[in-house]
């Protein structure tokens, strides 16, 4: 289906509020947003409108029963001064997997990808030019029935908002390995980007931040033994001459777009990548025998972030200086070169906007 995307521009841009030397993640939003509504089994035509608050009934379904999903995408200023989005089709596919699991309607590719492209075209001036910066894109869908009975909703709203972003982590992250609280079980919604996945993690995250840590590395819900993912990232370990990352088979880990990109690039370089269960015991043993060389997280917001320290109970694994790392530094540079248009995109990962 072809959608006519109406554009209602803001009378005066707020771009003067953007201080590119002092960008704080998620604090300032671009001039416009995309909105589309679903009713009677059909998505209506999307509209690009000025970024503004929305009015909702107190009985709106998602506020009571959590039918809310989202994605994270980024647009980059390329070497020629143009703008390009990294792998939006992959985020569209993943959002539809989340939608299916949460009893929500599929989003047509044209609505998601072309709607996003058009929105970024309208707000292209908001894509930062500073090195290492980007425009973070947040597509999301919420159930909007005005009904407090427990049933799958029939009305939905899809929106895209954007926000200039600098580096999510400015230094190597300190990680606490969690074996008390549980993030996800097989058969649950761990593989989705559903709001409730993140809401349930807030209290444990709050507790470890009081202890001085940045994020949690979650373990499985049965044995509290096998590592899964970090609150904002998938996780990789360089042990010996191999790169190991938890597999996705149990459905408890998000299939990260950056994760997939990293695996693809490493394999093309000839690096052995193992996707398999990995226990905290194996990681500790590798640290003690000196074969744990690097640990890093990957995600759209975080990009590729080094893990400086892992703590499990009272055992502290302090990794060597990041400057000495080979694998993570190579993958971060290679990914950035593709995202910012400094290196040929041989995978058709980049969607050029303007």
237-255 per-position pLDDT tens digit: 999 999 999 999 999 999 9
Checking if the pLDDT of 3 tops 90, the result is no
Query: Per residue, what are the HEC states of the chain?
Result: CCCCCEECCCCCCCHHHCCCCCCCCCCCCCCEEEEEEEECCEECCCEEEECCCCCCCCCEHHHHHCCEEECCEEEEECCCCCEEEECHHHHHHHHHHHHHHCCCCCCCHHHHHHHHHHHHHHCHHHCCCCCCCEEEEEEEEEECCECCCCCCCCCEEEEEEEEEECCCCCCCEEEEEECCCCCCCCCCCCCCCEHHHHHCCHHHHHHHHHCCCCEEEEECCCCCCEEEEECCEEEEEEECCEEEECCCCCCCCCCCHHHHHHHHHHHHCCCEEEECCCEHHHHHHHHHHCCEEEEEEEECCCEEEEEEEEEECCEEEECCCHHHCCHHHHHHHHHHHHHCCCCCCCCCCEEECC
Task: State whether 21 and 162 are in the same domain.
Answer: yes
pLDDT digits (tens, 9 = 90+) for 161-191: 999 999 888 899 999 999 999 999 999 999 9
Last residue of a domain, one of 166, 201, 235: 166
Q: Are residues 69 and 116 in the same domain?
A: yes
- Are 108 and 189 contained in the same domain? no
Residue 232 reports pLDDT greater than 90: no
How far apart are the C-alpha atoms of 8 and 154, rounded to whole Å? 27
Q: Give 23-53 pLDDT, tens digit per residue.
A: 999 999 999 999 999 999 999 999 999 999 9
End-to-end CA distance of the chain: 24
Nearest alpha-carbon partner for 244 in 293, 179, 317: 293
Residue-level pLDDT at 167: 85
Q: What is the model's pLDDT at position 111? A: 97
If one counts every other C-beta atom within 10 angstroms of the C-beta of residue 80, the result is 9
Mean pLDDT (whole number) for 133-142: 98
Mean predicted confidence (pLDDT) in 326-339: 97
320 lies in a domain?
yes
Q: What is the residue range of 37's domain?
A: 6-166
> Does 184 share its domain with 329?
yes
**58, 187: one domain:** no
Tokens of residue 173, six digits: 């992250």
* CATH number for position 181: 3.20.10.10
Residue 344 domain-assigned? no
**Contact (Cβ atoms closer than 8 angstroms) between residue 137 and residue 92:** no
Is the residue at 350 inside a domain? no
Tell me the average pLDDT across 210-221: 96
Q: Please indicate, yes or no, whether residues 135 and 190 belong to a single structural domain of this protein.
A: no
209 and 307 in a single domain? The answer is yes
Provide mean pLDDT across the span 124-149: 97
Query: Distance from CA of residue 148 to its chain's centroid?
Result: 30
In a domain, residue 349? The reply is no
Residue 235 pLDDT greater than 90, yes or no: yes
280 and 195 part of one domain: yes
The domain that holds 24 is classified in CATH as 3.30.470.10
Number of domains in the chain: 2
Q: How confident is the model at residue 276 (pLDDT cuts 50, 70, 90)?
A: very high
Q: Which of residues 118, 134, 166 is at a domain's end?
A: 166
What is the predicted pLDDT for the residue at 1? 66
Indicate whether 121 and 230 sit together in one domain: no
Q: What is the pLDDT of residue 77?
A: 98
Q: Answer yes or no: is 351 within a domain.
A: no
Predicted pLDDT at 231: 87
Query: Residues 65-100: pLDDT tens digits?
Result: 999 999 999 999 999 999 999 999 999 999 999 999
**pLDDT of res. 302:** 86
pTM, two decimal places: 0.97
Of 136, 166, 196, the one marking the end of a domain is 166
Residues 43 and 152 in one domain: yes
User: How distant is the alpha carbon of residue 346 from its chain centre?
Assistant: 23
Indicate whether 205 and 319 sit together in one domain. Answer: yes
Assess whether 157 and 200 both reside in one domain: no
- Does position 197 have pLDDT exceeding 80, yes or no? yes
């Amino acid at each position: 289906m072809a959608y006519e995307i109406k554009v209602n521009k803001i009378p005066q841009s707020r771009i003067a509020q953007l201080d590119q030397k002092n960008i704080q993640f998620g604090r300032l939003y671009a001039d416009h947003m995309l909105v589309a509504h679903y009713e009677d089994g059909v998505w209506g035509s999307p509209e690009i409108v000025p970024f503004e608050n929305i009015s909702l009934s107190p009985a709106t379904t998602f506020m009571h029963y959590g039918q809310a999903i989202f994605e994270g995408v980024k647009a980059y200023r390329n070497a020629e001064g143009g703008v390009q989005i990294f792998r939006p089709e992959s985020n569209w596919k993943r959002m539809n997997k989340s939608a299916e699991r949460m009893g929500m309607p599929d989003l047509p590719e044209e609505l998601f990808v072309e709607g996003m492209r058009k929105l970024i075209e309208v707000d292209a001036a908001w894509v930062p030019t500073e090195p290492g910066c980007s425009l973070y894109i947040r597509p999301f869908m919420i159930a909007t029935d005005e009904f407090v009975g427990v049933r799958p909703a029939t009305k939905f709203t899809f929106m895209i908002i954007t926000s200039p972003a600098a580096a999510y982590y400015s230094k190597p992250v300190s990680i606490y390995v969690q074996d008390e609280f549980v993030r996800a079980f097989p058969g649950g919604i761990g593989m989705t980007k559903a709001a409730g996945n993140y809401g349930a993690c807030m209290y444990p995250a709050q507790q470890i931040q009081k202890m001085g840590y940045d994020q949690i590395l979650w373990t499985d819900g049965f044995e509290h033994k096998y590592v899964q993912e970090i609150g904002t990232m998938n996780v990789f370990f360089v042990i010996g001459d191999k790169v190991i990352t938890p597999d996705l088979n149990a459905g408890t880990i998000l299939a990260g777009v950056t994760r997939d990109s990293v695996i693809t690039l490493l394999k093309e370089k000839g690096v052995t990548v193992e996707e398999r269960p990995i226990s905290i015991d194996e990681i500790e043993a590798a640290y003690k025998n000196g074969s744990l060389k690097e640990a890093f997280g990957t995600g759209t917001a975080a990009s590729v972030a080094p893990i400086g320290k892992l703590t499990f109970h009272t055992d502290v694994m302090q990794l060597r200086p990041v400057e000495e790392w080979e694998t993570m530094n190579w993958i971060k540079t290679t990914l950035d070169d593709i995202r910012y248009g400094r290196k040929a995109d041989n995978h058709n990962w980049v969607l050029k906007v303007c």
